Amino acid sequence: MAKDTKERILEAALEMFSQNGYAGTNVRELSASLGLVKSGVYKHYESKEAIWNALLDQMIAYYADHFGSADHLPPVPDSLEALTRLTMRMANVTVHDEKIAMTRKVLTLEQFRDPRARELATKHFLTGLTDMFTRIFTGMTEKGLLKKDDPAMLAFAYTAPISALIHLCDREPEKTDEAMAQIEAFSRHFIKVYGEAGHE
Amino acid sequence: MAKDTKERILEAALEMFSQNGYAGTNVRELSASLGLVKSGVYKHYESKEAIWNALLDQMIAYYADHFGSADHLPPVPDSLEALTRLTMRMANVTVHDEKIAMTRKVLTLEQFRDPRARELATKHFLTGLTDMFTRIFTGMTEKGLLKKDDPAMLAFAYTAPISALIHLCDREPEKTDEAMAQIEAFSRHFIKVYGEAGHE
DNA sequence: TTGACAAGTGACCTTTCGTTCACTATAATG
DNA sequence: CATTATAGTGAACGAAAGGTCACTTGTCAA
């Protein structure tokens, strides 16, 4: 029945680690949030560190599954307006999906302590988005939607500001709406600058 | 003689908090790193939290002194090349100055726990740089160096990618050189796009 | 010289932490 | 039906945490 307790522990750990960090989380509270007593957790994981490692394993696997392979690339937008729509859809998901948001927070808090967290943090915050949009912009340039330029540089210039605003949402959730509007404004500004005339 | 022990405690706290976070730091180690025993620390601060608050006070005051007022604005560059030089000078200072780098790390680690850290983090990571370059770009546009555009949007588009690379240096110091080169490349790309022709 | 005070020590206290273990309840298995 | 594995309990343990206190030492002013 409670066969998925092991899984529920990871969910609770993600929640607590993302709020208080690894060092700031204690096994008592973690167990209590699942309605069991702390020794019960040790039936599923041999230590607090084992929970952390299992959680990281899961986050790494999840990232590889959902963002790592070229299969899951969104279709290349066939208009400049579609680029903004795609961007807003992705931004909304990544900010409002609690699991993804908590993953970002955990990586933020543990990036200086755990080498695997560090590596995954760079993917989440920088290279992942850049790589993805490098492909998208390559496709859009081939379609004649964007002026000819280095797609990797364009992707970096496009995704880094958006990433900064996503971090702002994590830090100050009450500014989420404002940040989303800024992302949209930035996307349109980007299009005005780099979009090929005739496709506005 | 050891009148500045109170100050040295804050320095040690900055170092330890920036590496292990507040929760991951203990007063024993902190004291030991100063060559004294933990009860000695309590002669200067009444609690671990008091140390944290004093450190935050200092960081907030430092920021207000050095980046908060319009007095300390760097002079508006009088050429596009000078913008890149200014940018590289600032990036090098901010990455290589250990105190500033540790401050960023602390704010990164404690932004979700302490409201004042959260506020200062947003200044350090986002609004501070944007505001500063908004003024710079306004001046450069008036000088005819930049194409007419919304200076705040330009500043955001310019500083956010640079900020992302500075975070990368904090996270993966071995990539510092590469990141610096990327900052310079990005700056030149930005100038190519937004610079007024005739000033390249 | 003395007295007061600030800085630092070391022993100690309390609480909380992560972890262990003997035990119980339950449900599947032979 | 007997058995065995699994999930969960509650008490207990040792280590480490933050913090207190009586005491020493050195400095300086009266």
pLDDT digits over B125-169, tens only? Answer: 999 999 999 999 999 999 999 999 999 999 999 999 999 999 999
What token pair was written down for B10?
A: 């804050």
| pLDDT value of residue B1 | 43
Q: What pLDDT, in 10s, does the model give residues A88-103? A: 999 999 999 999 999 9
Q: Give A181: exposed, middle or buried? Use CB within 10 Å, 0-12, 13-18, 19+.
A: exposed
Mean pLDDT of B90-113: 98
* CA B37/CA A47 separation, integer angstroms: 31
| pLDDT value of residue A200 | 59
Q: What pLDDT, in 10s, does the model give residues B157-181? A: 999 999 999 999 999 999 999 999 9
What token pair was written down for B24?
A: 């991951």
Report the SS3 class of residue B195.
strand
* CA A177/CA B181 separation, integer angstroms: 34
Interchain CB distance below 8 Å, A164 and B20: no
Return residue ranges of chain B for CATH 1.10.10.60: 1-55
A58 CA vs D7 C1’ separation (Å): 23
Q: Does B163 touch chain A (CB under 8 A)?
A: yes
Q: Which residues have CB under 8 Å from B169's CB, separation 6+? A: B95, B101, B175, B176, B179, B180
Chain B neighbors of A171, CB-CB under 8 A: 111-112, 118, 121-122
Report the SS3 class of residue B152.
helix
Is the per-residue pLDDT at B2 higher than 50? no
Q: Report whether B171 contacts A122 (CB < 8 A).
A: yes
* CA B85/CA B87 separation, integer angstroms: 5
From the CA of A26, how many Å to the nearest CA of chain B? 11
* CA B70/CA B169 separation, integer angstroms: 28
Q: Does B156 touch chain A (CB under 8 A)?
A: yes
> Which CATH number does B1-55 carry?
1.10.10.60
Return residue ranges of chain A for CATH 1.10.357.10: 67-200
| pLDDT value of residue B68 | 84
Report the SS3 class of residue A114.
coil
B47 CA vs D14 C1’ separation (Å): 26
| pLDDT value of residue A2 | 45
pTM above 0.85, yes or no: yes
What token pair was written down for B135?
A: 């003024």
What token pair was written down for A61?
A: 């696997």
pLDDT in tens, chain A (200 residues): 445 999 999 999 999 999 999 999 999 999 999 999 999 999 999 999 999 999 999 999 999 999 988 888 999 999 999 999 999 999 999 999 999 999 999 999 999 999 999 999 999 999 999 999 999 999 999 999 999 999 999 999 999 999 999 999 999 999 999 999 999 999 999 999 999 876 65
Strand C closer than 7 A to residue B40 Cβ: yes
* CA A81/CA A190 separation, integer angstroms: 11
| pLDDT value of residue B200 | 59
**Class of A67-200 in CATH:** mainly alpha
Interchain CB distance below 8 Å, A186 and B153: yes
Termini Cα distance of chain B: 56
A27 CA vs C30 C1’ separation (Å): 38
